[in-house]
């Protein structure tokens, strides 16, 4: 019983060995992550079309809940760029930004996403995320990064523009270029340039000046806070808000409030599909980061428990004024590099954000939206990676086609179409590959008992014996391909006496494939050719024995391909 409780409450595992050294590492990591999250949380709320405080609220309770239920010791949960963009794209079809209906829909979206993730975890459905291939996900994130950056240019320029895809955004920007607020542009461009320099040049400069590595790292992570402080001070000191510079304005000075999502059937019906897509995208991003970081310390990640942890985090966001969240790449890497030892680092960061929400929000009244836009642009451009096109082109033209189509559809038609296309293309790509399984005609490598592809190796064969290795499980979608392949091969001019199907790579034979094997057996029998199987795995053999196929088989089932080849060749002598 206690073991089962520990499975669903991972905190009981790592808390037993918690000590002063671990506490020290977690506190330092929490300090660095908190410094990073304050401007980032505000910025992602802006991206999602919500008030700035929603970003802080979405970064407090969700982190605490994940610390209790998550299995990653470095994953930092909260608002992220792609999920915030998907949130804005989804809610834009429901209500206008700035309205109560929009905020209520954000809560409902977080609730539905949390419920879906929690249900997937409880029913161990983490495998559903595999329907999104990693190349397609990379393509979608790259295109989303471009759209996010383009959507923030209006704040840098101080103009009004809108659009759900790249052409619409560029057209909106072009149409309103004459309305540029030059003061806003100077602030926004300056903040963007500074943040890019902070990422690349600040740490080497500080190290060259003699600062320690840890101090230089903290100062570098505090770069966005410096941009926030300086631009806010400039706007306040020179009264720039009166000259058209858009500012964050009043932010409630309070802890996250208790909120209730809108459970009306009409709203739930409109949000359930987008919530499913957001859940899957968020989980794929989160689990990829968590497993990468865990591997560096030889730690284990439980995908199904991760679903539960992320589900609870999203439910927490729904009831505390937030919006959908997941594990973020940049903040998790920072958390890991800063020395986080346990999820307690996230809990300490949540405490820091709670203090900021109570004590520091009056200080950001004059914070220009251009600075938050600069924070978003610098963060998301690191996600843009066109090298996936080159790698997929050189490795697999089918993968390249899927990635390119995802990028173009996302850029041209918007993120909702892009993510839907990504799911469809991932499934289609899998079906395309498995419906045309690789079938190799094999022969005996001289001086051994090994069989290899006759097109790749010097092997020994018998013209009367066709040995075929099937490199895929057999199911309804590829069974006919196998039939046609065998019939075409047997129909050659050389007389064939035996066909041996090497099942070493076959893990499953469904009922449709079994019927195809029966049809192959019958047709070969009519042609005077015997059908044999070799190297059949136990679970596959168990299923075949439940039917009449083996009793009707014209040939035999051999333990190995070598046994089959030698026995059939001797029988012909």
Model pLDDT for residues 473-498, shown as the tens digit of each residue:
999 888 899 999 999 888 876 788 99
341: domain range? 13-429
| pLDDT at position 1 over 60 | no
Summarised one tens digit per residue, pLDDT across range 9-53 is: 777 777 777 887 788 878 888 887 887 788 888 889 988 999 989
In a domain, 380, yes or no: yes
Tokens of 7: 């499975």
Please name which of 23, 26, 20, 2 lies closest in space to residue 12, comparing C-alpha atoms. 2
Q: Do 416 and 469 lie in a common domain? A: no
Q: Do 163 and 68 lie in a common domain? A: yes
pLDDT of 337 reads 73
pLDDT (mean) for 152-164: 86
What total number of domains does the chain contain? 2
Rounded Cα distance, 565 and 294, in Å: 47
Tokens of 118: 């929690």
Summarised one tens digit per residue, pLDDT across range 416-468 is: 788 778 778 877 877 887 888 899 999 999 989 999 999 999 999 988 999 99
119 touches 278 (CB < 8 A): no
Q: Do 154 and 270 lie in a common domain? A: yes
Q: Do 186 and 264 lie in a common domain? A: yes
Pairing of strands 465-470, 451-453: unpaired
Tokens of 84: 């915030």
Q: Do 292 and 310 lie in a common domain? A: yes
520 touches 486 (CB < 8 A): yes
Summarised one tens digit per residue, pLDDT across range 91-100 is: 988 888 878 8
Among residues 379, 408, 429, the one where a domain terminates is 429
pLDDT of 129 reads 67
In a domain, 277, yes or no: yes
In a domain, 5, yes or no: no
pLDDT of 131 reads 66
Q: Do 382 and 511 lie in a common domain? A: no
Tokens of 448: 């051994």
pLDDT (mean) for 241-255: 87
Summarised one tens digit per residue, pLDDT across range 318-374 is: 999 999 999 887 778 777 776 777 888 888 889 989 998 888 888 888 989 899 888
340 touches 21 (CB < 8 A): no
Q: Do 137 and 211 lie in a common domain? A: yes
pLDDT (mean) for 508-519: 93
In a domain, 274, yes or no: yes
In a domain, 142, yes or no: yes
Among residues 429, 457, 482, the one where a domain terminates is 429
Q: Do 477 and 396 lie in a common domain? A: no
Q: Do 301 and 254 lie in a common domain? A: yes
Q: How far apart are the first and last CA of the chain?
A: 65
User: pTM here?
Assistant: 0.78
Q: Do 406 and 498 lie in a common domain? A: no
Among residues 429, 455, 474, the one where a domain terminates is 429
What SS3 class is residue 388? helix
pLDDT band at 124 (very low <50, low <70, confident <90, very high): confident
């Amino acid at each position: 019983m206690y073991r089962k409780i520990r499975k669903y409450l991972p905190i009981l595992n790592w808390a037993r060995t918690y000590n002063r050294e671990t506490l020290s590492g977690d506190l330092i990591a929490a300090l660095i992550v908190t410094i990073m999250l304050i401007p980032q949380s505000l910025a992602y709320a802006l991206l999602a079309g919500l008030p700035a405080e929603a970003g802080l609220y979405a970064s407090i309770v969700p982190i605490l809940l994940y610390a209790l239920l998550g299995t990653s010791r470095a994953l930092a949960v909260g608002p992220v760029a792609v999920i915030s963009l998907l949130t804005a794209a989804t809610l834009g079809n429901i209500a206008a930004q700035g309205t109560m209906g929009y905020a209520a829909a954000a809560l409902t979206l977080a609730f539905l996403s949390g419920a879906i993730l929690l249900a997937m975890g409880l029913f161990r459905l983490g495998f559903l995320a595999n329907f999104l291939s990693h190349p397609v996900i990379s393509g979608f994130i790259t295109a989303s990064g471009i759209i996010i950056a383009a959507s923030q240019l209006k704040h840098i320029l101080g103009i009004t523009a809108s659009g759900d895809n790249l052409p619409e955004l560029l057209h909106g920007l072009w149409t309103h270029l004459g309305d540029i607020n030059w003061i806003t542009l100077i602030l926004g461009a300056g903040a963007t340039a500074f943040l890019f320099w902070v990422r690349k040049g600040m740490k080497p400069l500080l190290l060259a000046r003699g600062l320690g590595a840890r101090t230089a790292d903290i100062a570098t992570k505090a770069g966005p806070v410096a941009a926030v402080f300086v631009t806010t001070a400039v706007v306040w000191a020179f009264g720039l808000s009166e000259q058209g510079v858009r500012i964050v304005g009043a932010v409630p000075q309070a802890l996250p409030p208790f909120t209730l999502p809108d459970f009306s059937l009409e709203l739930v019906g409109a949000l359930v599909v987008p919530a499913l897509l957001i859940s899957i995208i968020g989980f794929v991003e989160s689990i990829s980061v968590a497993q990468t970081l865990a591997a560096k310390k030889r730690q284990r990640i439980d995908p199904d428990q991760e679903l539960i942890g992320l589900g609870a985090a999203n439910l927490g966001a729904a009831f505390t004024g937030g919006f959908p969240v997941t594990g973020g790449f940049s903040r998790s890497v920072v958390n890991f590099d800063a020395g986080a030892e346990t999820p307690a680092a996230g809990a300490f960061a949540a405490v820091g954000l709670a203090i900021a929400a109570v004590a520091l929000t009056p200080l950001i009244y004059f914070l220009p939206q251009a600075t938050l836009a600069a924070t978003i642009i610098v963060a998301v451009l690191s996600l843009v990676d066109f090298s996936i096109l080159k790698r997929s082109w050189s490795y697999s033209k089918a993968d390249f086609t899927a990635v390119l189509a995802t990028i173009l559809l996302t850029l041209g038609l918007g993120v909702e179409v892009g993510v839907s296309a990504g799911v469809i293309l991932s499934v289609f790509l899998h079906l395309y590959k498995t419906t045309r399984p690789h079938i190799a005609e094999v022969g005996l490598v001289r001086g051994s008992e090994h069989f290899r592809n006759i097109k790749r190796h010097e092997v020994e064969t018998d013209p009367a014996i066709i040995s075929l290795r099937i490199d895929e499980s057999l199911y309804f979608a590829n069974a006919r391909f196998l039939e046609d392949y065998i019939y075409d091969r047997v129909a050659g001019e050389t007389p064939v006496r035996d066909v041996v199907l090497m099942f070493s790579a076959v893990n499953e034979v469904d009922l449709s494939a079994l019927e195809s094997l029966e049809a192959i057996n019958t047709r070969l029998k009519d042609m005077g050719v015997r059908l044999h199987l070799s190297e059949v795995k136990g679970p596959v053999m168990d299923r075949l024995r439940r039917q009449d196929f083996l009793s009707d088989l014209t040939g035999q089932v051999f333990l190995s391909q070598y046994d089959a080849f030698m026995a059939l060749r001797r029988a012909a002598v």
